[in-house]
Amino acid sequence: MRWIQHIQRAIRATLSALAASHQATASIGIAYYDPDCQDKFPARPGDMLRMAELAVRSAKASGGGRLAFYDAETSRHAEDALQLEQDLGEALERAELYVVLQAQVAPGGLLAGAEALLRWQHATRGAISPGQFIPLAEDTGQIVQIGAWVLEQALETLAVMQRHDPDLTVSVNVSPVQILRAEFIDEVAVQLERTAVDPSGLILEITENVFMDEPHLAGEQLGALRALGIKISIDDFGTGYSSLTYLKRLPVHELKIDQSFIKGLPDDAADSALVKIILSAAGELKLRVVAEGVELPSQAQFFEKLPNVFLQGFLFDRPIAVNQWYERWLQ
């Protein structure tokens, strides 16, 4: 086992010399061939490599910089993830991904716009929730291609919506992986031009952790997006760990109160206090607010008569296919 530690140490030393400020570690996965257990262990090199790859995934999953042996039981999970990742890579081509829309309602009850939400209908596994495949796509970088496709779809939708009513908006979720790429700005600009929409109808939803990871770069990117005429919304507001100073410095237009705070309204004292704090901060900073996950009339009533609060949730609309949504809301 000592030679494995030698490898890890050598890699660490070499990489720290090359990149002074970065800590690099090596995860190692080991598969071994035991001629006495031929029934248990296949001897084909391809199988051995796959086993080693699954083992290295276990090593990474347990925190990185570690060592893991192939083990059929724990590798089943890794194998599943690997398969899902490969399937996701082909999902766009196979037309298994599609966008649904969920209405957002203005104070007074009129339609304000919609949020675009991604869906994956897997050929054999059925519907896979975005909560499961978006983090996977972020880890593998596939979110860059998938997110660009979602944006294209959403802007085509916005073009239809704006022909109907120029004030309608479409909100698109954007992952930190996408927004922190320098190329993102040009890609958005190209799509805005292609679809000839009024950019002020496009709202990009980002989460607070963008500011934790890369505060400077995130600020620059948001500034560039603002210069294109686009609006920025902070999704799941109140659930992150970032400092609030970014609200002061950055061109943020909207806060989306996370549905976990809406759940307890109007009776839960803590939820209602927190929501009031968010509303008051948003009021001072002149930000628009969207309450998401509104399911009950009593929750909607909590926000009644507040001029700048928009509502989104099952009470008004379930996320539905784009054409169905047009029929329901634009006619």
271 lies in the binding site for ligand C2E (CB under 6 A) = no
130 binds, among Mg ion, ligand C2E, none (CB under 5 to 8 A by kind): ligand C2E
Cβ closer to ligand C2E: 150 or 247?
150
296 lies in the binding site for ligand C2E (CB under 6 A) = no
Closest distance between Mg ion and the C-beta of residue 20, in Å?
39
Q: Which window, 26-34, 133-141, 202-210, 260-268, contacts Mg ion (CB under 5 A)?
A: 202-210
| Binding residue for ligand C2E, selected from 117, 136, 189, 320, defined by CB under 6 A | 117
81's tokens: 């993830």
Cβ closer to ligand C2E: 28 or 174?
174
Using Cβ positions, the residue closest to ligand C2E within the complex turns out to be 313
Q: Rounded to 5 degrees, what angle do the CA atoms 107, 290, 171 make?
A: 110
Site string for Mg ion, 236-275 (x = CB under 5 A): x---------------------------------------
Closest distance between ligand C2E and the C-beta of residue 245, in Å?
23
Q: Which of residues 311-330 bind ligand C2E (CB under 6 A)?
A: 313-314, 319
**Residue 102: closest CA among 319, 265, 329:** 319
Alpha helices in 92-175 (DSSP H): 130-140, 143-164
Alpha-carbon distance 94 to 92, whole Å? Answer: 5
134 lies in the binding site for ligand C2E (CB under 6 A) = yes
Q: Which window, 200-208, 240-248, 301-309, 312-320, contacts Mg ion (CB under 5 A)?
A: 200-208
Q: How far is CA 259 from CA 70, 263, 309, 314, in A?
A: 41, 6, 14, 11
Q: How far is CA 43 from CA 30, 36, 38, 39, in A?
A: 14, 11, 7, 10
205 lies in the binding site for Mg ion (CB under 5 A) = yes
Q: Which window, 21-29, 77-85, 224-232, 289-297, contacts ligand C2E (CB under 6 A)?
A: 289-297
| Binding residue for Mg ion, selected from 208, 235, 271, 317, defined by CB under 5 A | 235
Number of residues counted as binding ligand C2E (CB under 6 A): 23
Alpha-carbon distance 301 to 255, whole Å? Answer: 19
233 lies in the binding site for Mg ion (CB under 5 A) = no
| Binding residue for ligand C2E, selected from 236, 255, 257, 322, defined by CB under 6 A | 236
What are the phi and psi torsion angles at 25 (to 5°)?
Answer: -130, 165
Alpha-carbon distance 52 to 286, whole Å? Answer: 55
Alpha-carbon distance 53 to 28, whole Å? Answer: 9
Exposed/middle/buried for residue 166 (C-beta within 10 Å: 0-12, 13-18, 19+) = exposed
Whether omega for the bond prior to residue 266 falls within 30 degrees of 0, making it cis, is yes
Cβ closer to ligand C2E: 53 or 295?
295
Question: 3-state DSSP call for residue 300?
Answer: helix
Alpha-carbon distance 32 to 48, whole Å? Answer: 7
170's tokens: 């479409």
CB 120, CB 127: distance < 8 Å: yes
317 binds, among ligand C2E, Mg ion, none (CB under 5 to 8 A by kind): none
Exposed/middle/buried for residue 267 (C-beta within 10 Å: 0-12, 13-18, 19+) = exposed
Q: Which of residues 137-176 bind ligand C2E (CB under 6 A)?
A: 147, 150, 173-175
Interacting residue ranges for ligand C2E, rule: CB under 6 A:
102, 117-118, 129-131, 134, 147, 150, 173-175, 205, 235-236, 259, 292-295, 313-314, 319
Interacting residue ranges for Mg ion, rule: CB under 5 A:
173, 205, 235-236
